[in-house]
Amino acid sequence: MERIKFSIKYSKFFDIGLVRNILHETIHLHIQNLINKYKIGQWEKEIIVDNLFEKFFPLLVKKQNYPKNMSKIQEIFNKNYPNLELIMRNVSKLPE
């Protein structure tokens, strides 16, 4: 079994940002095997995780700014959700 290491920012006071971080990282952990299998890049992975986060926790969503256009990944996600295997397979075929 592969070990995955992640960190969470700590705050003395409970705030929604901490909850968002924990949920976001939990989604990462749950899909990591597919990420590895299809060799999904960092930013592609982030948009997939953010889309899953939005599906599961729509009231907690905070949009990120991505360094490149991710509309193709968004399209693939919307077309193939909830089939994560198909989403990953199709995203892995996109040119870098």
Query: pLDDT tens digits, residue range 29-73?
Result: 999 999 999 999 999 999 999 999 999 999 888 888 888 788 999
Range of the domain at 75: 16-92
**Residue 5 belongs to some domain of the structure:** no
Kindly state the percentage of the chain with pLDDT values over 70.
85
Tokens of residue 34, six digits? 């597919």
In a domain, 10, yes or no: no
Contacts of 88 (CB under 8 A, 6+ apart): 31, 34, 35, 37, 38, 40, 48
Q: What phi and psi values does residue 39 have, to the nearest 5 degrees?
A: 50, 50
Residue 2 falls within a domain, yes or no?
no
Residue 83 lies in a domain: yes
Please check whether residue 66 is in contact with residue 76, taking contact to mean a CB–CB distance below 8 angstroms.
Answer: no
Q: Which of 34, 33, 83, 36 is nearest to 55 (CA)?
A: 83
Six-digit token string for 84: 């994560």
pTM equals 0.82
Inside any domain, residue 63? yes
56 lies in some domain = yes
Residue 6 lies in a domain: no
Helix (H, G, I), strand (E, B) or coil at 4: coil
Distance CA 50, CA 20 (A): 11
Number of domains in the chain: 1
